[in-house]
Amino acid sequence: MSVEQSLSKDSVIGVVGLGYVGLPLLLAYAKAGYRSLGLDIDAAKPDALLAGKTYIKHIPDAQVAEAKAAGTLDATTDFSRVAECDALILCVPTPLDEHFEPDLSYVVSTIESIVPGLRKGQVVSLESTTYPGTTDEELVTRIEAAGFKVGEDIHVVYSPEREDPGNPDFAATNIPKVVGGITPACLDAGVALYGAVFDEVVPVSSCKVAELTKLLENIYRAVNIGLVNELKVAADRMGIDIWEVIRAASTKPFGFKPFYPGPGLGGHCIPIDPFYLTWKAREYGVHTRFIELAGEINRAMPEYVIHRTMEALNSRGKPVKGSRVLLMGLAYKPDVDDMRESPTFELLDGFKRLGAEVAYYDPHVLEVGPTREHMEWAGTRSVDWNEDVIRSFDCAVIATHHKAFDLGSLSAWSDLIVDTRNAMAVVETPDGQVVKA
């Protein structure tokens, strides 16, 4: 791709970071006929792609194999190949550290890895969710320190990812793509880059606007989920079913959008992104109390579920210590294998700390892979789904509502079910079997 802001089928699009965001994007360019190069430090990912295989459950092998057979898909761990790319799109994690402050180490290490291979005429786009100013402060400064003039030699843009893994209605390219550029020329280059595969591109006036746009989207959800989680606790004390309340409120045709309670927040966005803004806002003397309060409420939900489970076990004369507790669902959302930031990990930790024998069942996650925060669970396998196994547990806690769950059998085999997702509402159950949490 050149500074004239045009793409040809000979253009090479590089995607750095081949996870839940990067891989769909890489395949979108490959499917559109562009030469697409995926780069990742984890050799298992390029190796799988080169073999025509996927490693993300909702992306079929056939999609990878088709792109590989067409000759439009390549993948590597060799970052010296950055020089081959006309555009580079960075899709790396932006987690929080132990103090709930932004950890930009993946962004910084990635930009430092690609800088030696940069050349004039390239476009560099950051998609990782982050605080306003990151693109200017972390990317532009390093690129210009290498001797390039941003806006002339190299064009830098920010375009927030909007992936929703497992959503059948929205794939990567039919979600409107927000793009902001460091200069007007950068913005033109970004619009051309994404316009080649996205149905709609939404240009904004700066990278900072684009960065804050993504934070607003996720803060909106986090705050509303925090609100309904707080109402759930209050409604429970009052003997009111919050799920019935939400259904009734949803009949209003205007001014109300339903959000649903749960055992805590999961995924790489909602539990993390709001804290990027609260951290940056402090630099400007702003205390974002509303956002922080929602975060406190949502982070307290796993303990609330544990407390409700303890009460339910106690009502049956069973202390939680020594009880066998089965957690239904390790993935953070229904029908995917994505376990990033899943609240089920907090439940596993909490029940184990209290002396319970705890296990999980998830047909989408048969074995716990490596995680940054919960390495002690790596290698733990899902229990088998059969009557003898399920009856061996004193309690089942529904943490994720997968369609694959056989809830009828669960009701037949489990004496006590703690339901955090209202999943059992569709099953006829005996009085007292299901406790909502």
Active site residues: 269
Q: How far is CA 93 from CA 26, 81, 281, in A?
A: 16, 21, 21
Q: DSSP states of 367-433 as a string? A: B----SS-GGGTT-BPPP-SHHHHHT-SEEEE-S--TT--HHHHHHH-S-EEESS-GGGGS---TTS
SS3 of residue 90 by DSSP: strand
CA angle 144, 145, 146 (to 5 degrees): 85
Which of 300, 282, 275 is closest to 100 using CA atoms? 275
Which phi and psi angles does 223 have, rounded to 5°? -70, -45
CB contact at 8 A, 138 and 124:
no
Tell me what percent of the chain is helix, strand and coil, each rounded to the nearest 5: 40, 15, 45
| Helices and strands, number each (H, E), in the chain | 15, 13
SS3 of residue 17 by DSSP: coil
Q: DSSP states of 411-429 as a string? A: HHH-S-EEESS-GGGGS--
285: its two tokens: 């003397």
How many residues can be counted in the chain?
437
- Containing H/E element for 16? strand 12-16
